């Protein structure tokens, strides 16, 4: 699979405390539909993409969002939409979307920060968003589109991993998967970065409690897929490494808005994530490990990892 990535605008209806988009970027003009289609044509011609990730900001609030996804379906691309799913709580919007797309080509990934409404909305700064996101995901899933709950692990929530898993398992059908990931710290200031810092080996007992329960459910036929991305292997006992995504290829093409309201196209980069610590080079698991965001090492150094000795 050859995958492209396109951010269709940095506008958003939330204000997440660790958003990687800067305040300046959020004021960039939004590329129009014609511009976005040209970008995708470029990706197809130059990189032969057969799938694409559509992101933002929040892509669903782009005025041409539905028309753009319809266009991608016409190109027979596999589409992954990174969205907070709030707009899909509006049944009229969801019905228009479902009637315009090929549901077998589309999947949604949506972040839920906590099993607690109060804590979720404290992170994203959007009152009422917790229930709107859940309603939106359930509504779009019932329309035949595959959904995944993404959970960004931070210092503020990692001790609640098991409670979060139980909540998702109770609220969403088994067809909804769970993706657990670290965060890119580039959106945090010097003053508050330590509020979110994760020392990955400290996750051990919390991952163990969660995955042990998950494994029991798999043994009796549970079909939900739960996995980790951008998570160094020193976060878990080796027994659980099958649940951690390995190193993957970068996007073949990457596009994002510019200050002029255009949408540039660049070759994919893979230097923003990886086993980038000094200790990683001494770790016997390094060849298998996907590592984590470069900003985690730049901000906190090797204190966040614990290499397996060679």
Q: How far is Cα 124 from Cα 131, in angstroms, rounded to an integer?
A: 13
Helix or strand (DSSP H, E) at 151: strand 146-152
Six-digit token string for 308: 């397996």
Q: How much is the mean pLDDT over the chain?
A: 93
Structure confidence at residue 268 as a pLDDT band (50, 70, 90): low
pLDDT exceeds 80 at position 270: no
3-state secondary structure of 202: helix
Q: Which domain holds residue 43?
A: 3-272
Going by C-beta distance under 8 Å and a sequence separation of 6 or more, which residues neighbour residue 23? Answer: none
Residue with tokens 């670290």: 182
Which CATH number characterizes residue 86's domain?
3.20.20.70
CA atoms within 13 A on the CB side of 247: 14
Asked if 139 and 113 touch (Cβ cutoff 8 Å), the reply is no
Confidence of residue 271 (pLDDT cuts 50, 70, 90): confident
Phi, psi of 129 (to 5 degrees): -70, -30
Q: What is the pLDDT confidence band of residue 236, given thresholds at 50, 70 and 90? A: very high
Rg (CA), the chain: 19
- Give 177-215 pLDDT, tens digit per residue: 999 999 999 888 778 889 999 999 999 999 999 999 999
162 in a structural domain? yes
pLDDT band at residue 262 under the 50/70/90 scheme: low
In a domain, 310, yes or no: no
Q: How far apart are CA 53 and CA 253, in angstroms?
A: 10
Tell me what the mean pLDDT of segment 140-164 comes to.
97
Per this entry, what is the length of the chain?
310
Both tokens assigned to 82: 């990174």
Q: From CA 24, how far away is CA 103, in angstroms rounded?
A: 35
Q: Does any domain span residue 280?
A: no
Give yes or no for a contact between 58 and 12, defined as CB atoms under 8 angstroms apart. Answer: yes
- Asked whether residue 194 is assigned to any structural domain, the reply reads yes
Cβ atoms of residues 290 and 249 within 8 Å: no
Q: Using CA atoms, how far apart are residues 64 and 253, in angstroms rounded to an integer?
A: 22
Number of domains in the chain: 1
For residue 156, being part of any structural domain is answered with: yes
């Amino acid at each position: 699979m050859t995958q492209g990535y396109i951010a269709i605008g940095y506008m958003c209806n939330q204000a997440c405390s660790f958003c990687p988009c800067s305040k300046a970027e959020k004021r960039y003009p939004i590329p129009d539909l014609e511009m976005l289609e040209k970008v995708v044509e470029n990706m197809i011609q130059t990189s032969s993409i057969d799938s694409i990730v559509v992101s933002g900001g929040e892509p669903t609030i782009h005025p041409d969002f539905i028309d753009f996804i319809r266009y991608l379906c016409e190109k027979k691309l596999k589409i992954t939409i990174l969205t907070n799913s709030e707009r899909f709580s509006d049944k009229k919007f969801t019905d228009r979307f479902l009637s315009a797309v090929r549901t077998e080509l589309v999947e949604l990934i949506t972040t839920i920060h906590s099993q607690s409404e109060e804590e979720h909305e404290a992170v994203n700064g959007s009152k009422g968003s917790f229930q709107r996101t859940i309603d939106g995901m359930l509504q779009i899933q019932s329309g035949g589109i595959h959904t995944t709950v993404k959970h960004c692990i931070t210092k503020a929530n990692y001790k609640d991993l098991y409670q979060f898993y139980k909540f998702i398992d109770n609220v969403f059908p088994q067809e909804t998967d769970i993706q657990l990931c670290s965060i890119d710290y580039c959106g945090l200031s010097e003053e508050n970065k330590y509020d979110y810092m994760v020392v990955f080996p400290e996750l051990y007992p919390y991952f163990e409690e969660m995955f042990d329960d998950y494994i029991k459910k798999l043994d009796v036929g549970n079909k939900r897929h739960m996995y980790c991305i951008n998570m160094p292997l020193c976060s878990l006992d080796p027994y659980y490494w099958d649940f951690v995504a390995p190193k993957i290829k970068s996007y073949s093409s990457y596009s994002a808005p510019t200050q002029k309201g255009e949408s540039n196209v660049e070759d994919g980069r893979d230097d923003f994530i990886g086993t980038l610590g000094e200790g990683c080079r001494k770790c016997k698991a390094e060849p298998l490990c996907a590592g984590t965001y470069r900003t985690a090492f730049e901000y906190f150094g090797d204190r966040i990892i614990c290499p397996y000795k060679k």
